Amino acid sequence: MREIHVNEIIDKVKNLVMDSEYKLPEDFIQAIKIAKEKEESPLGREILDEILKNAEVAKIEQVAYCQDTGYPVFFVEVGQDVKIVGGSLREAINEGVRRATKEGYLRASLAYDPIFDRKNTGDNTPALIYFDIVPGDKINIKFAAKGGGSENQSKQAMLKPADGLEGVKKFILQSIANAGPNACPPFTVGVGIGGTFDYSAVLAKKSLFRHIGERHPDPRIAKLEEELIELANQLGVGPLGFGGTTTVVDVKIEIAPCHIASLPVAVNIQCHAARHKEIEI
Amino acid sequence: MVEAKIITTPLTDEVIENLRAGDKVLINGWVYTARDAAHKRMLEEYEKTGKLPFDVKGQVIYYVGPTPAKPGQVIGSAGPTTAYRMDKYTPKLLELGLKGTIGKGWRGPEVKEALKKYKAVYFAAYGGTAALLSKHITKVEMVAYEDLGPEAIRKLYFENFPVIVANDIYGGDVFEEGQKKYRKLVI
């Protein structure tokens, strides 16, 4: 068994969170630069330029890219040959978030209960953590800061098998059009098809960790991704919804087996504050 | 590039009448912050006491919950939050004399009607460009509900804070008009 001390996890999670909040992924920045060249709307080009400037300022000054520093969501794969020592893994991740929030000047954005007094938890904990056990002696930690504006526009539908591919496409495009200016496009759209009601949404969220431009290994899904990118950019939403030809920079689709009666589809809209990062310990 | 209109708060009817959806505007002067929790409390308080924590007449509310200021900063990152969540409360505030709101995204029909009725404007700031926008805020003062943390009501002093008129008093809507130009697919 390989031993990993919780102190190492706390430190690495803290840095992962702070780094994600200050610095957008390089592949996303490149995608915005390319989009700027192709965007037909003059205002759209100007906005894409502001987005690039904002990314630069946030990175250089080490400040949050967006004031909504998001709901911290983690996908953690723990190698079955790892032994965590010194405390609980879940608590270590939360402590990392707590320290990043304080030392990194992040906004406290979680309400302790959703419907009664909605008091702020003050430190962005508890984080949402999905654990998985995998072979090996490493821990892989994926982190996403999910802003409320785009998460609010995400959708899930339990379609009928008879709705088929056309029904799926229509639902995805409608979700993108409806999200519009409310969710800060250009979007990266994460889609989960299949599984159960809840698992489709998890797949949609997890798909967003794939690099921009990286297509699904299944050629049928890759083709569907490409088709949806093209169609989404014909919706006219444009940068920040002011109109234009850049509505999405990418669409990611993951699929899973599902019940013979079901066709679950989930669309996780990701705004241009596309904060996704992963580390391996 | 079209030149921006420069305006200073508090806003008068004359200033409002001169603004059209799509206009670029630079706002100067004091504005107030309020988002979900502050709106809820403010309007509940008004129901009970007939008073608001600040006089909204001629004023502008910026829908924002900033990050905490780092040492040396006036304010942390401070971009707009989505405006429609405040739609439930906005018509009442407009009736009481509020002249402008700043956020991002669409407003509902009740707000658009109230903008026309009470002569007020909804401005959109560039969502997510929070590190840049905070540079146009040069002073911050606490006004009310400090316990709400990032959702407290603060006064911010704007220097050429860039926005676009999203909804004007003539029924104009920058998002609808802008998207129509580039829409090739209707679903």
Structural domain for A201, as ranges: 149-279
- Of the residues A68, A168, A171, A245, the best mutation for testing chain B's interface (the one with the most B CB atoms within 10 Å of its CB) is A68
Q: Do A107 and A238 lie in a common domain? A: no
Q: Are residues A155 and A107 in the same domain?
A: no
* Choices 3.40.50.2300, 1.10.10.10, 3.40.50.300, 3.20.130.10: CATH for B5-182: 3.20.130.10
Q: Are A266 and A153 in contact (CB under 8 A)?
A: no
Give the bridge partners for A277, in sequence order.
Answer: A143
Residue A49 falls within a domain, yes or no? no
Query: Quick check: B124 and A181 CB within 8 A?
Result: yes
- Same domain membership, residue A103 and residue A190: no
Instruction: Note whether A114 and A72 are same-domain residues.
Output: yes
> Is residue A51 situated within a structural domain?
no
What positions of B carry a catalytic annotation? 39
- Contact (CB<8Å) B182/A41: yes
Same domain, A99 and A203: no
Give the angle A168-A173-A179 at the CA atoms, nearest 5°. Answer: 130
On whether the pTM is more than 0.90, the answer is: yes
A157 in a structural domain: yes
Per-residue pLDDT of chain A (281 residues; tens, 9 = 90+): 999 999 999 999 999 999 999 999 999 999 999 999 999 999 999 999 999 999 999 999 999 999 999 999 999 999 999 999 999 999 999 999 999 999 999 999 999 999 999 999 999 999 999 999 999 999 999 999 999 999 999 999 999 999 999 999 999 999 999 999 999 999 999 999 999 999 999 999 999 999 999 999 999 999 999 999 999 999 999 999 999 999 999 999 999 999 999 999 999 999 999 999 999 99
Same domain, yes or no, for A133 and A190?
Answer: no
In A135-200, beta strands by DSSP E:
139-146, 155-159, 187-195
User: Do residues A183 and A273 both lie within one domain?
Assistant: yes
Start-to-end Cα distance in chain A: 14
A-B contacts at Cβ under 8 angstroms: 164
User: Which tokens sit at A167?
Assistant: 């029904």
DSSP B27-91: EEEEEEE--HHHHHHHHHHHHHHS--SS--TT-EEE---PPPPPTT-SS---PPPBGGGGTTTHH
Q: Could you say which residues from 114 to 153 on chain A have a Cβ atom under 8 Å away from some Cβ of chain B?
A: 118, 120, 122, 148-149, 152
Determine contact, residues B125/B137, Cβ cutoff 8 Å.
no
* Annotated domain spans of chain B: 5-182
Q: Which of A41, A50, A231 sits opposite B126 (nearest CB)?
A: A50
